[in-house]
């Protein structure tokens, strides 16, 4: 019975995690200098076809 409860809790956690919107890598950075470097590098990366350029 305990295994079923654990499995249910795990399934609920997965459902909750997959319902959240994707996080941009820049949002995870705390340092303003790192955010600036991230934006600069992101601008230099080739864009997949059909994607809008980063502003």
Q: Tokens 């019975």: give the residue.
A: 1
DSSP state of 50: T
**pTM of the model as a whole:** 0.41
pLDDT tens by residue, 10-29:
988 888 888 877 777 777 78
| Residue 53 backbone dihedrals phi, psi, to 5 degrees | -65, 150
pLDDT at residue 53 tops 60: no
Q: Give the pLDDT confidence score for residue 55 in this predicted structure.
A: 56
């Amino acid at each position: 019975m305990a295994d079923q409860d654990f499995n249910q809790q795990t399934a609920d956690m997965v459902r909750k995690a997959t319902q959240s919107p994707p996080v941009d890598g820049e949002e995870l950075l705390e340092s303003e200098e790192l955010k600036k470097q991230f934006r600069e590098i992101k601008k230099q990366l080739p864009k997949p076809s059909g994607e809008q350029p980063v502003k």
